[in-house]
Amino acid sequence: MKQKQTRPKIRPPRTFWDRVLEAIAIVSVLCGIYLVFQAWPTLPQTIPTHFDAAGNADGFGPKGTIWLFPAIGIVMIPLMLILRLFPWLTNLPIKITEENAEYQYTLVVRLMSLMACVVSLLFLALIYDTISIAGGGASLLGSWFIPIFAGGIIGSLLWYFILVFKGR
């Protein structure tokens, strides 16, 4: 039977940038909720629910689906930010030892802060665009949208993995 390994339980200090990313994530979720509340009375019964790569609406549904992004954000963003408090619970690509724990956990905290920020901004952009199109306005999600947000997510992951394997 395999022996269960215990990881060091170290909570790295949060930096100024961790706090900035956390604040952006939280404010973005709250702004998304506010936008939906503000737009709700004027939204048509059918709203865009899907966009193609160029940002054009190509799927439509009932106006209640506008609550999907805020609902996911309300659950997902706090969970990501809470998970940062317990970095030893995360699944990491290398073995964690007493020697590398603080460095590796600091990277996990930074990655979770960054991902919470990117995802909450993504949801905010999608909420804003859905409301804009539903109200007869133009889409703000052009061909730049997918590369920017995919670049933010992929770039964050690449940054993380490069530093993880550098600091083994």
pLDDT for position 116: 94
What does the pLDDT look like over 110-135, one tens digit per residue? 999 999 999 999 999 999 989 998 88
- Read off the pTM: 0.86
- Tokens 């215990």 found at: 6
pLDDT for position 142: 74
- Interhelix angle 101-134/16-39, rounded to 10 degrees, is 20
What does the pLDDT look like over 61-107, one tens digit per residue? 999 999 999 999 999 999 999 998 899 888 888 888 888 889 889 99
- Tokens 């665009």 found at: 129
- Tokens 């394997």 found at: 165
Categorize the per-residue pLDDT at 5 as very low, low, confident or very high, splitting at 50, 70 and 90: low
What does the pLDDT look like over 24-52, one tens digit per residue? 999 999 999 999 999 999 999 999 888 87
What does the pLDDT look like over 7-17, one tens digit per residue? 888 889 889 99
Closest to 47 (Cα-Cα) out of 32, 68, 29 = 68
pLDDT for position 56: 77
Strand partners, 59: 50
Asked if the model's pLDDT at residue 109 lies above 60, the reply is yes
**C-alpha neighbours within 13 Å on the C-beta side of residue 98:** 0
pLDDT for position 14: 86
Spell out the long-range contacts of 143-147 with Cβ–Cβ below 8 A and sequence spacing 24 or more: 143/53, 143/54, 143/55, 145/55, 146/53
Asked if the model's pLDDT at residue 3 lies above 60, the reply is no
